[in-house]
Structure 1
Amino acid sequence: MYADRNFISEMFKAGAKGFLLKDCASSELVEAVKTVYNDRVYLGPSVSDIVAKMYIHFVQQGSSPNEEKLTTREREVLMYLAEGKTNREIADLLHVSIKTVGTHRQNLMRKLGLETIADLVKYAIRKGLVSPSQH
């Protein structure tokens, strides 16, 4: 395997429990198999460095990997929901249908792992997208 940030992310999204480079020593391969077999995650040295840097980036940016995937429109919908706007009001503001707003809302909840509008509002306040006094 090769050490590329996007490739590593996609591998873990697909369910990989370990990652090492194809030019690793045979002893490292044996160690990786044992580690994964024992239900632990194995990262080769160069891969662990990349994963650590990715994590540090997300922590410093104050965002989660899922938040990075939000579209500009989803961020707009989130902001308006947090301000207490109805789906109809958001649809009018964005010049889209109510159904489109509902789809954006569902995508937001799925991507952020949230279940209710209240969760979305709390999330938006926590992330500074809207102040508590606005809601």
Structure 2
Amino acid sequence: MRSRRQGAASAGRRDRRPDRKTLQLCQQVKHTLEYVLTGECDDDVLRGLYVESVNPLPDASNLLVTVSSLDRENPPEPADVVERLGIVGGKLRSEVAASISRRKVPELHFTVASEPSDAERGETGYSSEAMDG
């Protein structure tokens, strides 16, 4: 029985897919950040963002938050977005802490998506070739 436990533990380390609780946490954080960015930020750039995804980095103690601009015609500079998110990072983390049931609140790391997601491309007809030519 002991070898079975060791085998299961080592198999768990090789399998890097997040568990159900981690995925649930990521969804809670995503919904909280969407709410706070669209309604409670006094920054027009941040209000013009939506949260594409929240993923563990590499575990639930650090989360990678990917945001995109709603304004496809004149999106803000990614460096400016990350800087502004850094300024309000404490408020965002505080809101996340209030919305989740965890002893430790995960650190939030932000990145800006460089192009629309596949779902958006299908809805808007966006094509990188069309933009280049």
Is TM > 0.5 for Structure 1 vs Structure 2? no
- Structure-2-length-normalised TM-score: 0.29
Greater C-alpha Rg? 1
Q: Quick one: higher RCO (CA 8 Å, sep 6+), 1 or 2? A: 2
When you count helix as a share of all residues, which structure comes out higher?
Answer: 1
When you count strand as a share of all residues, which structure comes out higher?
Answer: 2
- Structure-1-length-normalised TM-score: 0.29
